[in-house]
Amino acid sequence: MNAILEVKNVSKRFGGLRAVKDVSFAMLQGEILFVIGPNGAGKTTVFNLISGFLHPDQGSITFNGHDITRMAPHDSARLGIGRTFQIVKPLPSLTVAQNVMLGAFMHTGRVSQAEKEAGKILDFLQMTSLRDFQARGLPLAALKRLEIARALATKPKLILLDEVVSGLTTAEALALAGLVKRLPEWGVSVVGGVEHVMQVVMKIAERIVVLDYGAKIAEGKPEEVVKNPAVIEAYLGPKYKEIAR
């Protein structure tokens, strides 16, 4: 089993703020890994670093054997890293189908082919009935799925899902989580970033990495991490450290 993604000693600062401090973790092919942490822990920064929207000040990131530390976002996308955005970024005046076709165009130059690919993905995400609606004006649950659909259409080997269930009702979140759990069927390894909605994380994560103030404070299986005193302190404060008994 090989590591598909290796983040090694990565740091990033913005002026005086050290957003990510010496973070390292690795991920195996086909895994579902979640990066969690309280607000401001640096999860989105880590995602931006992996997908090329930001570059680390120190450290390196390797994907499938390629050094992607300084890669431009469109290049890492072409290499096989797909992503969704925490604040959804649909293409508002295009239809759902057209949005997804954008992703499919990475592997085909033909509009008809892209349409077919988009159709398949929309089926998997159960959005076929929405395919001809403009993305503008769709409710959040649909837009979150659209983000995933578009990323999936690029046939990624790794998909970064940044806060993909935040803002959804519990029912919507669980429904989406069920789909996320099936992504490895498409040959996609998953890195999810989540601040709360822990029920989702517990149900589908195979491993968890916990960040707090930019540093990694724990890593392991969900059941272990949840009992880790450092993690509890990070989320609930020092008073609750005692819970881990």
By the rule CB under 8 A, 126 interacts with other proteins: yes
User: Within a 10 A sphere around the Cβ of 240, how many other Cβ atoms?
Assistant: 12
In the complex with other proteins, which residue's Cβ is closer, 197 or 217? 197
By the rule CB under 8 A, 179 interacts with other proteins: yes
In the complex with other proteins, which residue's Cβ is closer, 109 or 237? 109
In the complex with other proteins, which residue's Cβ is closer, 52 or 216? 52
Piece in contact with other proteins (CB under 8 A), picked from 2-10, 16-24, 62-70, 110-118: 110-118
Piece in contact with other proteins (CB under 8 A), picked from 35-43, 176-184, 187-195, 212-220: 176-184
Q: How far is the CB of 158 from other proteins (least distance, A)?
A: 13
Piece in contact with other proteins (CB under 8 A), picked from 17-25, 38-46, 172-180, 226-234: 172-180
Q: How far is the CB of 117 from other proteins (least distance, A)?
A: 12
Query: Going along the chain, which residue ranges are E strands?
Result: 3-14, 17-28, 32-36, 58-63, 66-67, 81-83, 158-162, 189-194, 207-212, 215-220
By the rule CB under 8 A, 129 interacts with other proteins: yes
User: Within a 10 A sphere around the Cβ of 15, how many other Cβ atoms?
Assistant: 5
In the complex with other proteins, which residue's Cβ is closer, 42 or 52? 52
By the rule CB under 8 A, 175 interacts with other proteins: yes
Of 89, 186, 224, 240, the residue at the interface with other proteins (CB under 8 A) is 89
d(CA 147, CA 85): 7
- Return the residues of window 185-224 that contact other proteins according to CB under 8 A: 200, 203-204
Polymer length of the chain: 245
Cα 216 → chain centroid:
17
The H or E element that residue 239 is part of is none
- Residues 6 or more apart whose CB falls under 8 angstroms from that of 180 comprise 32, 148, 161, 164, 190, 192, 204
Phi and psi at 161, nearest 5°, equal: -110, 105
Question: What is the residue type of 166?
Answer: S
By the rule CB under 8 A, 69 interacts with other proteins: no
By the rule CB under 8 A, 70 interacts with other proteins: no
Say if residues 56 and 82 touch (Cβ distance below 8 Å). no
By the rule CB under 8 A, 154 interacts with other proteins: yes
- Residues 6 or more apart whose CB falls under 8 angstroms from that of 142 comprise 96, 127, 130
Footprint of other proteins on this chain (CB under 8 A)? Answer: 51-53, 72-75, 77-78, 82-83, 85, 89-94, 98, 101-103, 105-106, 108-111, 114, 126-127, 129-130, 132-134, 137-139, 141-142, 145, 150-151, 153-154, 168-169, 171-172, 174-175, 177-179, 181, 200, 203-204
